[in-house]
Amino acid sequence: MRIAMIGSGYVGLVSGACLADVGHDVVCVDFDEAKIEALQAGVVPIFEPGLDILVVRNAEAGRLSFTTDLSSAVASADVVFIAVGTPSQQGDGHADLSYVHSAAASIAEAAKGFTVVVLKSTVPVGTGDEVERIIRQVNPRAEIAVASNPEFLREGAAINDFKRPDRIVIGVEDDWARTVLAQVYRPLRRDRLQVQFTSRRSAEIIKYASNAFLAMKIAFINEIADFCETTGADVQEVARGIGMDARIGPKFLHAGPGYGGSCFPKDTLAFVRMGQDFGSPLRLVETTLAVNEQRKRNMASRVVAACGGSVRGRRIAILGLTFKPNTDDMRAAPALAIIPALLDGGAIVNAYDPQGMHEASLLLPSIDYAESALAAAEGADCVVVVTEWAEFRSLDLRSLKAAMKSPVMVDLRNVFDPAKLAAYGFAYTGIGCGAAP
Ligand code: NAD
């Protein structure tokens, strides 16, 4: 199969490299010239474990190439994936579809012969219809079918998620496009993999409903964590107890500072807007969103409390900036709510993140950045764990304590064992573990 991938960001690049790796002939397109130049030189502009090796291997094998020339890539493709961004529209939170619509118009002008156009970007229900309308309007003679194939990969584990997904959802109304897409994914087929063919609109909703459900699960356990703190229970025990129920499952039951990232915040908001637009409100999702935003803001007050009621003039070490480990993605990271609140309170912030400091420095230019967790903790009045990077788990606690001015830790990810921290002499605050009233 000859595949053109429009948009070479987290999703486009991972999908393109993985599809090349299973034998397809893939051209990744982006209008960002610097990104394409870097990729042509074998430099992967994002951090995603294993992606650099995959990109270089497939480029050298001649199955993967990069271009800014959308027309030539589309003209010779059997299948064109649209994997451009769909950020929140400034002001109202609807998904901004301008990149999708513009890609659709360019594809319409360039397509030659039968072409399946596949929406991989996360797009509101009905976008497939609109993309089809745009293509037919721009080029009434285009021989195209439009399908929806939402992507469920997680940053940090993206390659494995793409190659060994729980399921592949293909929303398609056209038999021929269905056959073509079955062929695209045939190399990934294995025993337990479910390929679900649905209507285009169902596929579009499956993506938002999945993200909303997971976001709701996180918001739920966070609320239970607060309740555990008030009532003298331990949310980790409670989560384990409820997660053993196969109907509930153990995943996404880790209490923390609230969800962030490039998908959950924008997708839950866009889903809420869809509900309002269609006159069918999604009240559980609305509440999830409100609860989560409030939670991210509230996290700073835990640090203030741990510092005795004020952070003015205090040195706060932040460990972890990205929205989760194993990515450099800072989009909607809880750190972006917590750190400005600490700065507003008069704190001096020194942060460390294994991969996210470049991205973070663009968004948080007025804080200091350290070379290591221990360097960030030097002279600190309090250390705050914001992202659960694996390297923090193996921190030498004796050295950490020695580096700090006062051994106070606020662990927003429950990385550390409270008893162990207490034994080392830390004043420790975790999430969701309270003393009996
Ligand atoms: P991204 O911002 O990392 O990448 C999008 C890329 O598209 C950018 O490089 C941009 O320059 C390029 N682009 C935009 N318009 C273009 C055009 N007309 N022609 C060529 N290039 C164009 O975004 P992402 O994180 O890869 O997300 C892409 C989509 O996938 C979004 O809809 C997102 O919601 C969805 N998604 C993301 C994830 C994730 O974990 N990041 C997971 C599942 C789904």
Q: Is the CB of 99 under 6 A from ligand 1?
A: yes
What does the longest C-alpha to C-alpha distance in the chain come to? 74
Backbone torsions φ then ψ of 413, nearest 5 degrees: -120, 5
200-231 and 127-138 helices, crossing angle to 10°: 150
* Mean per-residue pLDDT, 79-97: 96
Place of tokens 């005795």: 308
Distance 30 CA to ligand 1 centre (A): 10
Q: Is 266 annotated as a binding residue?
A: yes
Residues 146-179 have pLDDT tens digits of: 999 999 999 999 999 999 999 999 999 999 999 9
* Mean per-residue pLDDT, 327-346: 96
Q: How many residues does the chain have?
A: 437
Domain architecture of the chain: domains with CATH: 2-198 (3.40.50.720), 213-429 (3.40.50.720)
Which H helix or E strand runs over 28?
A: strand 25-29
Q: Is 112 annotated as a binding residue?
A: no
Q: Is the pLDDT of residue 30 over 80?
A: yes
Residues 177-188 have pLDDT tens digits of: 999 999 999 999
Which residues 6+ apart lie within 8 Å of 421 measured at CB? 397, 409, 411, 428
Report whether 110 contacts 292 (CB < 8 A): no
Residues 367-419 have pLDDT tens digits of: 999 999 999 999 999 999 999 999 999 999 999 999 999 999 999 999 999 99
Q: Is the pLDDT of residue 265 over 80?
A: yes
CA distance linking residue 272 with residue 266, whole number of Å:
10
CA distance linking residue 267 with residue 93, whole number of Å:
9
DSSP string, 299-355: HHHHHHHHTTS--TT-EEEEE--SSSTT----TT-THHHHHHHHHHTT-EEEEE-TT
Q: Is the CB of 85 under 6 A from ligand 1?
A: yes
Report whether 336 contacts 297 (CB < 8 A): no
Position 191 scores a pLDDT of 74
CA distance linking residue 165 with residue 158, whole number of Å:
10
When the pLDDT of each residue in the chain is averaged and rounded to a whole number, the result is 97
Distance 368 CA to ligand 1 centre (A): 30
Complex ipTM above 0.90? yes
Which residues 6+ apart lie within 8 Å of 436 measured at CB? 231, 232
Its pTM surpasses 0.90: yes
* Mean per-residue pLDDT, 46-72: 97
CA atoms within 13 A on the CB side of 424: 21
For ligand 1, atom 37, name the residue with the nearest CA: 11
Q: Is the pLDDT of residue 119 over 90?
A: yes
Q: Is the CB of 86 under 6 A from ligand 1?
A: yes
Residues 286-329 have pLDDT tens digits of: 999 999 999 998 999 999 999 999 999 999 999 999 999 999 99
